[in-house]
Amino acid sequence: MLTIGKLGTSTGVKVPTIRYYEQIGLLPEAERSAGNQRLYTHKAHERLAFIRHARELGFSLEAIRDLLSLSDDPDQPCAAADAIAKAQLAEVESRLARLTALKTELERMVVQCAGDRISDCRVIEVLGDHSLCVTNHPTIGDAGQ
């Protein structure tokens, strides 16, 4: 049995995050010691490591919930897990495309800047007039998507 601190240290997950995962049902509620200290099993450790790895790969908490539910029934086909992973891959590819467009535009702005005075600065000019951009990159409302 592991205390919450030892569980956090061994998985690299902060204690408040472990408590949060318990609160939202990703981790089962821990047993309690006589002193009311949370005690976690090896199975809870494995589950938390799974959650952490999935988060590192960018899966949403809802996708992780679905993947955990699937992993709890190991005899079923893995098509649903594959579908979740494919959706995550598509999201990553979409983000990469947006980042590539942003990189291209920033490189173009920097290369075109003469570096003299602000009045002649291409960076300031392009940032002030979106129509001068060559690539179709996210605008203000799209940045977080």
Question: What digits encode the pLDDT tens for the residues 91-115?
Answer: 999 999 999 988 988 888 888 876 7
Across 27-136, the runs of DSSP E, i.e. the strands, are 31-32, 38-40
Q: Left, alpha or beta for 58 (phi > 0: left; psi -120 to 50: alpha)?
A: left
| Tokens, residue 110 | 């920097």
Q: Which of 84, 73, 72, 86 is nearest to 26 (CA)?
A: 72
The size of the chain, in residues, is 145
Question: What is the model's pTM?
Answer: 0.76
Which amino acid does the sequence have at 52? Answer: R
In tens, the pLDDT along 47-90 reads 999 999 999 999 999 999 999 999 999 999 999 999 999 999 99
